Amino acid sequence: MAAELLHLGNEGEAVRWLRQQLARVDGDYHTTSSTRFDAELERQVRRFQERHGLSVDGLVGTQTLLVLTGLAPEPNTPTLKSTF
């Protein structure tokens, strides 16, 4: 996903992806598949930002995306493991 700013009022597949990633991090497997960035999704983003020490603004920019994708990698993403 390209680093674009997502915010209240946006619509599209990037918003659906955001919902899925937040659900994966939170362990919420009953999330909606809506493609609209609504007030509830903004609250979820703010809670995520607060929990992870990010600027709490409800906007999904580069920093929020970096933390989110680090915590919820796509299935089958290779990971590095220490051999020590």
- With respect to residue 83, please indicate whether it lies within any of the assigned structural domains: no
Q: Is residue 79 part of a domain?
A: no
Dmax over Cα atoms in the chain, in whole Å? Answer: 47
Task: Supply the range of the domain harboring residue 19.
Answer: 13-71
Q: What's the pLDDT score for residue 63?
A: 94
The fraction of the chain above a pLDDT of 70, given in percent, is 80
Residue 24, in any domain of the structure: yes
- Split into its structural domains, the chain has a count of 1
Residue 43, in any domain of the structure: yes
pLDDT in tens, 39-62: 999 999 999 999 999 999 999 999
pLDDT, residue 7, reads 97
Q: What would the two tokens of residue 24 be? A: 């994966």
49 within domain boundaries = yes
Quote the pLDDT of residue 78. 62
Decide if 78 is inside a domain: no
Residues 79, 26: Cα–Cα separation, whole Å? 20
Cross-strand bridge partners of residue 60 = 6
**Residue of higher predicted confidence among 4 and 78:** 4
Domain of residue 39, CATH code: 1.10.101.10
Q: What are phi and psi of 50, to 5 degrees?
A: -65, -45
Contact between residue 48 and residue 68 where contact means Cβ atoms under 8 Å apart = yes
